[in-house]
């Protein structure tokens, strides 16, 4: 039997990301922390800096993403801390959260809430 772990509640809304210049999200599950800083974006995509701290560490700058409805697709997440995982990313505009839905190696959802931007993600 496979169990799912989630830090996310309901996810709704497909509006654009907020237009603020300091736009960051962060979430933790067990001992892994994921942080994202949105550098620039339009209604259809943009670029982000990402960082993972914990057993699965990584960092990438200027990763390009596409947006379609609430779905965000990171074009090249190599080195971002998500290597080896199957996942999808969703922006929940009604909750102003980014949710990473991991499929493998373990089925779990990690909600990234709006956070103060870390200088290391600049």
Residues β-bridged to residue 58: 52
Token output for 87: 């996942």
Question: Which pLDDT does position 98 carry in this prediction?
Answer: 95
The number of angstroms, rounded, from the C-alpha of 17 to the middle of its chain's C-alpha atoms is 12
Question: Which pLDDT does position 7 carry in this prediction?
Answer: 54
Site of tokens 């779990």: 108
Question: Which pLDDT does position 68 carry in this prediction?
Answer: 94
Question: Which pLDDT does position 47 carry in this prediction?
Answer: 95
Instruction: Give backbone dihedrals phi and psi of 119, rounded to 5 degrees, phi first.
Output: -65, -25
pLDDT in tens, 20-37: 888 999 999 888 899 999
Q: Is residue 120 over pLDDT 90? A: no
Long-range contacts of 25-28 (CB under 8 A, 24+ apart): 25/97, 25/98, 25/112, 25/113, 25/114, 25/115, 26/112, 26/113, 26/115, 27/98, 27/100, 27/110, 27/111, 27/112, 27/113, 28/110
65 or 78, which is more confident? Answer: 65
Whole-model pTM: value is 0.86
Site of tokens 């892994």: 32
Question: Which pLDDT does position 8 carry in this prediction?
Answer: 57
Question: Which pLDDT does position 85 carry in this prediction?
Answer: 80
């Amino acid at each position: 039997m496979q169990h799912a772990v989630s830090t996310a509640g309901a996810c709704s809304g497909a509006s654009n990301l907020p237009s603020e210049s300091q736009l960051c999200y962060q979430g933790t599950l067990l001992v892994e922390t994921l942080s994202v800083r949105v550098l620039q974006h339009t209604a259809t995509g943009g670029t982000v800096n990402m960082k993972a701290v914990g057993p699965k560490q990584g960092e990438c700058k200027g990763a390009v993403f596409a947006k379609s409805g609430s779905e965000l697709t990171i074009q090249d997440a190599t080195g971002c801390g998500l290597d080896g995982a199957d996942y999808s990313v969703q922006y929940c505009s009604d909750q102003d959260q980014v949710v990473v839905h991991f499929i493998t190696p373990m089925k779990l959802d990690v909600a990234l809430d709006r956070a103060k931007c870390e200088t290391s993600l600049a």
